[in-house]
Chain A
Amino acid sequence: MAYKIACLCLLLFFVTTSSAEIAGFPFESEAQEQRFRELSAELRCLVCQNQSLADSNAGLAQDLRSELYQQVLGGNSNNQIINFMTDRYGDFILYKPRFATKTLLLWLTPILLFIVGIFCLIRFSKFRNQRQQTQVSEEDLQKIRALLQAEEEKR
């Protein structure tokens, strides 16, 4: 038991020391580092467009990372930093598009399609039910039986 606890403590020690610095950016606190991680994953590298700032090694991504680092250390809020980036590079720098009139279609299309899908589903199942519940009158049934019997007698 004591051995296990000791192991756990050692592991914890590793966790805390290894996260004190990422890629040459020393942080004063865990919270700052966490914010840096989140923001650099949220922002897009504009040179290699399908990578985030965190993933990219392009020169511009390095510059923007160090800009981000300085702003996080300087105590700027996430909103301030995001605004700094979009003021210069436009909304394209954001991986997650903002909810605005321009992006309304983008955000609402899935919900719209979902509603349309549900509607179609209801209509379709109703249609099927009606088909299954087709009522044949007694008179018709007698006609059918008579026809079937006539067929059988022919054979």
Chain B
Amino acid sequence: MSQPVESQVASPQGQRPKRWVYLLPLGLFVVLMVFFFFGLGLNPRLLPSPLIGQPTPEFSLPKLSNPDELFQHTDLKGEVSLLNIWATWCTSCRQEHPVLMKIAESEEVPIYGLYYKDIPAQGVVWLQDYGDPYRENAVDENGKVGIEWGAYGTPETFLIDQKGIIRYKHVGPISWHDWETTLLPMINSLRNNNGV
């Protein structure tokens, strides 16, 4: 007899929240976790370069080997090449150096250097001491050309195609793994595509 009274008082016209509403916080939590999982896995030091797909910035700088001669952006045209931004004060460049030497030995691709914010004489000695993987180096003593290339953390390496278009940027030291899995396949595909 008391049943109908209870039910009428407790549930007014079926306006109780539906069951799935209670699962909402859990659902939101899962979504948040997914975002955190991917977001926190990103390296905030690796910034996408707006230069990819663009022609190399224009520059004209003295060569490290011979300050009377100029190294220009037009020298980067004609074949697939790498441009490596480095300096003797850059410790990660020391770490990267053996890999660059190995790449140079493989003769797969010419490596050019942008010698960034450093004293030319020091760079010459450095290359004599540790070996010279570069075909040529441009000396950017005040870092102006570095800004043109959007350099923010040496070493940085750009992959440039036959037409002088920047195709890829690697920030930080290149490892042999990076070379084998990313750079070399890209270089090969650039060569094949232009060969047609």
Contacts and interface: CB of A to CB of B under 8 A. Distances in A.
B15 A131 contact: yes
Interface stretch (A6-14, A27-35, A139-147): A139-147
A147 B146 CA distance: 89
Contacts of B13: 130
A64 B147 contact: yes
A107 interface: no
Interface residues of B, number: 29
Interface residues of A, number: 23
Interface in B138-153: 142-144, 146-153
A114 to B, nearest CB: 16
B34 to A, nearest CB: 15
B47 A89 contact: yes
Majority secondary structure, A binding face: helix
Given A131-B15, A134-B12, A88 B1 contact: no
A143 B5 CA distance: 8
Interface stretch (B48-56, B92-100, B157-165, B177-185): B48-56
A138 to B, nearest CB: 13
B50 A46 contact: no
Interface in A42-66: 46-47, 49, 59-60, 63-64
